[in-house]
Amino acid sequence: MSPRLLLIAERAEFRRLVRLHVEIEWPDALIVEHRVGLDAPLDPQFAAAAFDAVVVVGAPPSSVEEALVAEFLSRPEFAPVVLVLLQDAPPAQRKVPGLRRLVGRKLDRGLFIQAIEDASHEHRQMLAMLRSNPNFEKRYLFGSIMIRGHRCIRQVGSGGMCKIYLAESERAGTVVVLKVFNQVPDVSERLVGFDRFLQEYEIVAGLQHENIVRIHDLGVADDHAYIAMEHFPAGDLRQRMKMPMSPDTALHFLEQMASALDAIHGVGVLHRDLKPANVMLRPDGSLCLIDFGLAKANEPGADLTGTREIFGTPYYMSPEQGHAELIDARSDLYSLGVVFYEMLMGRKPYTGSTAMEVIYKHKRAELPEVAPQLASYEGMLRRLLAKSPADRFQSARELLDAIAMLKARA
């Protein structure tokens, strides 16, 4: 049986070396790479339960691999580790449970393959022992709901229709955000909230785009729907905007969000709740749109909320959305313009003591002045934040073309 391995290394050539040796022996092996220094640190509660072994590779002068392994071995139930150090062999060291150490300037393939096989065997024995414990299945409890294949780490939030957890997904082999639907759908009556929840998955799962959240799993457990999606330990754009942001960074973020909207709008879907809290960051600096719970398929007969209802966040609503008028892709572009203004200026364009005051200003108030040093962005801002949709960019693609021209002139 081909192993499933988590490969951790800072240098790309080390990752390629391990892949070469493993795939010669097991062409169908599943190898998930974790790039030290580039990917987010593994969550402290992550136990690599879905992997037969964790392979960590390093070489002098770095000592980060040794520190990582020591930290992994301190975690309860962590998968066995194969540590490969490409250096001169030190004096003999004592054996450590859960660890196989290979040291030498060259990787001995025979010893390496044997270490993986031994680690896999040890892991299977450990899992069998754990499953014999009567309390084993409690790890799969999310409140009172049992969701096998996802080990609960902790609850991190709740919304109107979901509770939100961090979980270790055995299928994805990583920490995921697990949204668990609160209501049990009644087969005799379609719940609008349940439809929106399922639609979030259907929209996102069909789009393979680097700036749209990755969906790992969807299912129903104990009559409750759940969705497992990408975890963003780097936080959201709202948090990032609390720190200074250069105009170049703001434009780069705008471009990524526009690219995501271009993909969404291309399949006839509106986001309808674009705001900094729904834009997540990865450690490599890329952005992802999330939370399509208010998204609406832009097709006849696909309206889940009613065309005259207000959904969204007033600070970021287009004038037509705030007044419960018909909306289209240009409404999302207006919301994107509000976010861009806030990134550039460090404040929202319109504020008020009540939601209705903010909604009124979006419809009637002039755009506040743009700082002189940001004059090169004023034309783009005014088109994004035009009161009439006809005066805005007509598509995310048109906005992307304008961003490209602005960058070329810089």
- DSSP class per residue in 160-213: SSEEEEEEEETTTTEEEEEEEESSPPBTTB--HHHHHHHHHHHHHHT---TTBP
Token digits for 83? 């540590």
Q: How far is CA 376 from CA 86, 100, 385, 400, in A?
A: 52, 59, 16, 16
- DSSP class per residue in 62-93: --HHHHHHHHHHTSTTPPPEEEEE-S---S--
Proportion of the chain above pLDDT 70, given as a percent: 90
Q: Give CA angle at 294 (360, 189), nearest 5°.
A: 120
Confidence of residue 161 (pLDDT cuts 50, 70, 90): confident
265-280 average pLDDT score: 92
Non-local CB neighbours of 37 within 8 Å, separated by 6+ positions: 10
Total structural domains within the chain: 3
Q: Say yes or no: 288 and 248 in one domain.
A: yes
Q: Say yes or no: 319 and 397 in one domain.
A: yes
Question: What is the CATH classification number for the domain harbouring 226?
Answer: 3.30.200.20
Averaged pLDDT of the chain: 89
Q: Say yes or no: 217 and 322 in one domain.
A: no
Q: Say yes or no: 140 and 287 in one domain.
A: no
61-82 average pLDDT score: 91
First to last CA, the chain: 56
| Least confidently predicted of 53-62, 181-190, 245-254, 333-342 | 181-190
At 230, is the secondary structure helix, strand, or coil?
strand
Rounded Cα distance between 237 and 339, Å, is: 9
| Least confidently predicted of 67-76, 111-120, 194-203, 357-366 | 194-203
The last residue of one of the domains, among 230, 248, 267, is 230
Among the ranges 81-85, 193-197, 324-328, which has the highest mean pLDDT value? 81-85
Q: Say yes or no: 354 and 390 in one domain.
A: yes
Q: Say yes or no: 87 and 141 in one domain.
A: no
Rounded Cα distance between 77 and 303, Å, is: 47
Cα 365 from chain centroid? 36
- pLDDT beyond 70 at 185: no
At 158, is the secondary structure helix, strand, or coil?
strand
Q: What is the pLDDT of residue 287?
A: 96
At 303, is the secondary structure helix, strand, or coil?
coil
238-260 average pLDDT score: 96
pTM of the model: 0.83
List pLDDT tens digits, range 289-321.
Answer: 998 765 655 544 443 333 444 456 899 999 999
Q: Please name the residue that has the structure tokens 């640190």.
A: 41
Residue 373: domain span: 237-409
| Least confidently predicted of 116-125, 158-167, 288-297 | 288-297
The last residue of one of the domains, among 131, 160, 193, is 131
Q: Is 273 a catalytic residue?
A: yes
The catalytically annotated residue of 273, 291, 391, 401 is 273
Q: Say yes or no: 18 and 123 in one domain.
A: yes
Q: What is the pLDDT of residue 172?
A: 87
Q: What is the pLDDT of residue 305?
A: 38
Q: Say yes or no: 263 and 405 in one domain.
A: yes
Q: Say yes or no: 171 and 295 in one domain.
A: no
203-226 average pLDDT score: 87
Q: Say yes or no: 248 and 368 in one domain.
A: yes
Confidence of residue 60 (pLDDT cuts 50, 70, 90): confident
Q: Say yes or no: 224 and 176 in one domain.
A: yes
341-351 average pLDDT score: 96
